[in-house]
Amino acid sequence: MIKKSAAEMAAALSAGEVTSVELTQAHLDQIAKVDSDVHAFLHVDNDGAIAQARAVDEKRKSGERVSPLAGVPLALKDVLVQKGIPTTCGSKMLEGWRPPYDSTVVTRLKENGIVILGKTNMDEFAMGSSTENSAYGPTHNPWDLSRIPGGSGGGSSAALAAFEAPLAIGTDTGGSIRQPAAVTGTVGVKPTYGGVSRYGLVAFSSSLDQAGPCARTVLDAAYLHEAIGGYDRMDSTSINEPVPAVVAAAKDGNIKGMKIGVIKELQGDGYQPGVLKLFNQSLEILASLGAEIVEVSCKYFDYALAAYYLIAPSECSSNLARFDAMRYGIRVGEGSAEEVMNATRQVGFGREVKRRIILGTYALSSGYYDAYYGSAQKVRTLISRDFDNAFGKADVLVSPTAPTTAFKIGEKANDPIAMYLNDIATIPTNLAGIGGMSVPSGLAEEDGLPAGFQIMAPAMKDDRMYKVGAALEAALLTKWGKPILDNVPALGAK
């Protein structure tokens, strides 16, 4: 049962073939069996999950109407608050903190009867590409436990690939949903900015952060997207429009006549040959399904990484000022407020978080504001214009999701620039506020590890990504004869 898709599990639940308590217990058993190897979870809410499952079973039994994913379990990234459940953001700073309220994403999960199994590991405050920056130790990629599961949402992607949960929630500031999906052979979607509420999402870079669905199939991601998406008056950047019809698009998958734009700047040097080969194969498949492939150029994308690493640290330096030892989490030392604050931030934050706070504070300081932050904002506008022009020539844009497959734990840990380069292809969409999706493109010939195909669509046209993603997924399934995750080695032998 745990190897099925969420849609299949939902069908089994509504046919009465299985109860949510049984399904939830099966996933809790799998977590108990494999998570000492994988370390996808920071907290497993055994009793709470069973209680939620029982409530859904009773509702269903009494004949009450339930939503499509009711009773299906999910893993929640530890950056979204859930009332009473420890929320750490992968940081020592928040050790032991239990939020007094639910984020809107959690409220909607609960309203939909989706069972929350627990909180997943992540790079501290979502800063990183490997989950090695977690204060609680790294998560291991189920494909090869010596490798990273991507980041910052590596716990969520690993939980999916290890069959610990069929659904997960991630957040994507520069790629943290899509790059983990790519390196674990799973599906991840960063919706249009404003498409999913940020209320109760612990802020890293508020103008870039976006929560979204993670799953093993495009259709599952679509169901989850519709469950969590839509207007929320608690988030001033929330878009007051209906959620794009992503489930219908995922079920349709007809891409005949669609124009698919290949971004010239997002390939070539620095991309692993096997990843590029899979990307080109995917393009051929889409062409054979009736899409028209065109090449587009986005010349300012070369500056996207530099702009991001000024804007994101600048916003983070302001957002993380709230961790002052007075309001949330740990408190260290004695003396004046300033001394306590100093000692707490010294102990509570890890190296990468400190690096970004220092970088951002510097970029925002009065003498440098225009030169750094101001310039980065101008580049951001130019990148948006690049997208606008490209979408004049194509319905969706595509690229490899990440330049390489999963690297070894420790390989890039002491080289921030090498780490930052993982998001070279995902960052432009965050800067422009548009949607992006990663679907598996296959296993790279060099190392047999999964790679991702990225699909980007204009703001609030998220349905287009699902259409193309579903078409590619179906064609690859026919080609391989089985889902890509059937190749994950058996876990939990010890």
**Window contacting ligand GLN (CB under 6 A); options: 171-179, 194-202, 321-329, 451-459:** 171-179
Query: With b meaning 16 or more CB within 10 Å and e meaning fewer, what string describes 452-489?
Result: bbbbbbbbbbbbbbbbbbbbbbbbbeeeeeebbbeebe
Counting contacts by CB under 6 A, is residue 434 touching ligand GLN?
A: no
- Residue 212 or 440: the one with the smaller Cβ distance to ligand GLN is 212
- Residue 183 or 341: the one with the smaller Cβ distance to ligand GLN is 183
- Residue 13 or 424: the one with the smaller Cβ distance to ligand GLN is 424
- Residue 74 or 203: the one with the smaller Cβ distance to ligand GLN is 203
Maximum distance among all alpha carbons in the chain?
70
Whether residue 152 has a cis bond before it, omega within 30° of 0: yes
Counting contacts by CB under 6 A, is residue 454 touching ligand GLN?
A: no
Instruction: Decide: 132 and 151 in contact? Cβ < 8 Å.
Output: yes
Of 91, 152, 205, 438, which residue is the catalytic one?
A: 152
**Window contacting ligand GLN (CB under 6 A); options: 173-181, 330-338, 395-403, 431-439:** 173-181
**Window contacting ligand GLN (CB under 6 A); options: 34-42, 122-130, 465-473, 477-485:** 122-130
Counting contacts by CB under 6 A, is residue 129 touching ligand GLN?
A: yes
Counting contacts by CB under 6 A, is residue 127 touching ligand GLN?
A: yes
Specify whether 77 is catalytic.
yes
Q: How far is the CB of 176 from ligand GLN (least distance, A)?
A: 3
**CA-CA distances (angstroms) from residue 89 to 29, 131, 189, 446?**
25, 11, 20, 34
Counting contacts by CB under 6 A, is residue 134 touching ligand GLN?
A: no
Specify whether 110 is catalytic.
no
Question: Tokens representing 474?
Answer: 């179906």
Counting contacts by CB under 6 A, is residue 186 touching ligand GLN?
A: no
Separation CA 443–CA 472 (nearest Å): 15
Counting contacts by CB under 6 A, is residue 126 touching ligand GLN?
A: yes
Indicate the burial class of 284 (C-beta count within 10 angstroms; 0-12, 13-18, 19 or more).
exposed
Separation CA 167–CA 217 (nearest Å): 9
Counting contacts by CB under 6 A, is residue 452 touching ligand GLN?
A: no
From residue 190 to residue 229, what is the string marking binding to ligand GLN with x (rule CB under 6 A)?
--------------x-------------------------
Separation CA 7–CA 215 (nearest Å): 11
Of 91, 103, 134, 176, which residue is the catalytic one?
A: 176
- Residue 88 or 282: the one with the smaller Cβ distance to ligand GLN is 88
- Residue 24 or 139: the one with the smaller Cβ distance to ligand GLN is 139
User: Would you tell me how many other CB atoms lie within 10 Å of the CB of residue 204?
Assistant: 27
- Residue 71 or 428: the one with the smaller Cβ distance to ligand GLN is 428
Counting contacts by CB under 6 A, is residue 462 touching ligand GLN?
A: no
Indicate the burial class of 490 (C-beta count within 10 angstroms; 0-12, 13-18, 19 or more).
exposed
Per rule CB under 6 A, count of chain residues that contact ligand GLN: 13
Q: List binders of ligand GLN among 311-330 (CB under 6 A).
A: 312
Query: With b meaning 16 or more CB within 10 Å and e meaning fewer, what string describes 78-102?
Result: bbbbbeebbbbbbbbbbeebebeeb
Counting contacts by CB under 6 A, is residue 128 touching ligand GLN?
A: yes
Residues contacting 34, CB < 8 A, separation 6+: 142, 162, 163, 164, 491, 492
Q: How far is the CB of 312 from ligand GLN (least distance, A)?
A: 5
Strands 435-443 and 292-296: unpaired
Counting contacts by CB under 6 A, is residue 150 touching ligand GLN?
A: no
Counting contacts by CB under 6 A, is residue 78 touching ligand GLN?
A: no
The residue type of 346 is: Q
* Catalytically annotated residues: 77, 152, 176
In the complex, the residues that contact ligand GLN under the rule CB under 6 A are 126-129, 152, 172-176, 204, 312, 423
